[in-house]
Amino acid sequence: MLFLWIKALHIVSVVCWFAGLFYLPRLFVYHAQSQDSISQERFVIMERKLYRGIMLPAMIASLVFGIWLLSLTPGFMSQGWMHAKLTLVVLLIGYHHMCGAQLKRFARGENTRSHVFYRWFNEVPVLVLLAVVILVVVKPF
């Protein structure tokens, strides 16, 4: 029964993390398009609150519950799909931190990228999510 509770909490935390990973780059799109200082200041606050208040705790919870699940099912570590999934998780953590670095650039008024860049940047977590779900459900190798 404990395993199912941990699994449920892992899924909920991953959903919350991905919600932030989908929304923050979208905020970057609008922030890059904004011209007036009031809008830019508002976006800085929204981005910071999303990153620190939702994304960071959700990422930490996802990792804690995921590691806990792995400790309860060590056999998964011998399967190729799990290695692929964990590689994608590491890349996703890197993407998360890239978002944090970009957030700081916006806060300092040092953004040099266009809204078009952020529209493409916003697609990265979609591709990772698609791959992770397929790996976990289908277990192709």
pLDDT digits (tens, 9 = 90+) for 80-135: 999 999 999 999 999 999 999 999 999 999 999 999 999 999 999 999 999 999 99
Let me know: does 6 contact 72? Beta carbons within 8 Å. yes
H helices present in the chain, as ranges: 2-33, 37-50, 56-72, 80-108, 115-121, 124-138
Mean pLDDT of the chain: 97
From residue 132, give the alpha-carbon distance in Å to each of 50, 58, 73: 23, 17, 18
Q: What residues form the annotated binding site for heme?
A: 10, 85
Q: What residues form the annotated binding site?
A: 10, 85
Q: Can you give the residue ranges of every domain in the chain?
A: 1-140
pTM of the model: 0.94
Let me know: does 3 contact 9? Beta carbons within 8 Å. no
